[in-house]
Amino acid sequence: ALSDAHRDALMSSIPASMDRYYEAYQAVYDKWEPTLEKNGVAKITLPDEVVSGLQEAAAGPVREEWLAANEGKIAAKELYEFTKAKLAEMK
């Protein structure tokens, strides 16, 4: 388990890390979107219920395995919940 100081350091680094991740993702998207459009690749938006179903089917077992494997080692559940909330904010 992490000491309080290490846990605080980890948790306090998450917002900046997530911001950097989103910036990097957006840069890749911005770079390739014109090429995709030029080549006729259509952008689609799936309904939320379809996305939720795909996420649960694909990610559910992996998520649960990761949470179980990291229980007591890192703040896995808190990290997962934070990330989930951050992604929801971006919608």
Least confident stretch, 12-16, 39-43, 49-53: 12-16
Is-contact 89 22, C-beta < 8 A? no
- Average pLDDT estimate for 12-36: 92
Cα dihedral 8, 10, 16, 18 sign: negative
DSSP per-residue letters across 45-80: ---HHHHHHHHHHHHHHHHHHHHHHHBTTB-HHHHH
Angle between helices 4-38 and 76-90 (to 10 degrees): 40
Q: What's the domain range around 10?
A: 4-90
Give the whole-angstrom CA distance, residue 37 versus residue 43: 8
Of 7, 27, 25, the residue nearest 86 (C-alpha): 25
Say whether pLDDT at 2 is over 80. Answer: no
Global pTM reads: 0.49
Query: What are the tens digits of pLDDT across the range 43-88?
Result: 899 999 999 999 899 999 999 999 999 998 988 998 899 888 887 8
How many folded domains does the chain comprise? 1
